[in-house]
Amino acid sequence: MKNFTIKNARVIDPANGVDKVKTVYVANGKFAAKAAEKSEVIDAKGLVLIPGIVDIHAHLREPGQTSKETIRTGTSAAAAGGITSVVAMPNTVPAVDNTATVKLIDELIKQNAVVKVYQTGCITEGRAGQKLSPIGSLKNAGVVAITDDGACVQNNELMRNALEYADMFSLLVMDHCQEASLTAKGQVHEGEWSCKLGLAGWPSAGEDLIVSRDVILSHYTGARVHLQHLSSAYSVDIVRRAKARGVRVSAEATPHHIALTDAACEGFNTNAKMNPPLRSESDRKAIIKGLCDGTIDVIATDHAPHSVNDKDKEFDYASFGIIGFETSFSVCYGALVKSGAMPINRLVELMCSKPAQLLGLNAGTLSIGAPADFALIDLEAEYIYEKTYSRSSNSPWLGKKLPAKVMQTFVDGRRVYSAEKGIEAR
């Protein structure tokens, strides 16, 4: 661990209302008020210094699916994208529905993680939607939320019970909103491109119904519920009206739903196949409006690695999902800031401070005494996204030019990534 003095950077820290050129000090792994002895000086002129990005929705695949990703490769990719905290989903093999699996993954994290990793637990045993997991035991084991991500709980009574129990233990329930009977055969958004491609449509109503259900259950139980990867304009409106009534609901959007539409599936491009699907331009604009007015609270990647064999097949049989760690800031900067939709301060808030606040993580801020997790970014640099640290390469942006290059990433005052050297030794 080194001590650092970072000079001449534009420092953006929404949690403290900071946006100015100033010097930042790091001592003993934390942000400090003054320089420590034997401090390495970094001249960051022309760069922006932001808190480390906090990604509250990602898949690291280990244990059980290491042909797609490992904790080491996934967190390396996160570091290359300026992400210093990752919240991992519980759809591993075995699923994270018991304390033994939590402990197993904790050991893997300690041995292999390049950035910080927080675990979530399952709402139901095996993510099967039949019986609640031991929620209190999972909380005591250290999970920061519960979710059956990718396998939405269809039973309304069970979901109500999950919210009530989770609230007793001050755990956030995160829900993948998908009504199974409407979406079982869906491949792409039900609309123009499903017709052009001759693929089964996936209606927005398949999301809207569960969003409505979760809002109603949150209202009746008083428990918090977080709606993952919103994609539908109508869902955004439901959340907006629920918040106006004081319902304890929060929501996230992904970079791909912010930047792309279902037109990206042209040519049966399986790297544009995801769950929920890319939707229409009107849906995309509604997502951006929701981010701008506070209806949608955070941006999260839903990083979902798949092997070449999972994607290189007929569209109907290809897996849903894309990787997103390395490109998340660049894609959002281009779609939201360069487009004029929002100032960069708001983007940093959505990707750093707000996600940390939502889950109560000690992250997303440059406050004195806070862990020195931060990234240095060149907003003027453009680069071709052609190298990935992930074990998978299922990205619609591979080979494309992107703005805003991450130059260095630090975790607890230790440089874990630089554009010059790549991932630095643990």
293 is catalytic: no
Return the percent helix, strand and coil in the chain, to nearest 5.
35, 25, 40
Report the distance separating Cα 277 and Cα 181, nearest Å. 16
- Distance from C-alpha of 245 to C-alpha of 59, rounded to nearest angstrom: 33
Q: First-to-last CA distance in the chain?
A: 10
Nearest to 326 by CA among 372, 370, 265, 391: 391
| Surface-to-core class of residue 85, CB atoms within 10 Å of its CB (0-12 exposed, 13-18 middle, 19+ buried) | buried
Q: CA dihedral defined by 238, 321, 358, 220, rounded to 10 degrees? A: 40
Element (DSSP H or E) covering residue 414: strand 414-418
Q: Which of 167, 208, 302, 310 is catalytic?
A: 302
* Phi and psi angles of residue 104, each rounded to the nearest 5 degrees, phi first: -60, -50
- 3-state secondary structure at position 55: strand
How many other C-beta atoms are found inside a 10 Å radius of the C-beta of residue 67?
A: 15
User: Quick check: 338 and 91 in contact, CB under 8 A?
Assistant: no
Active site residues: 302
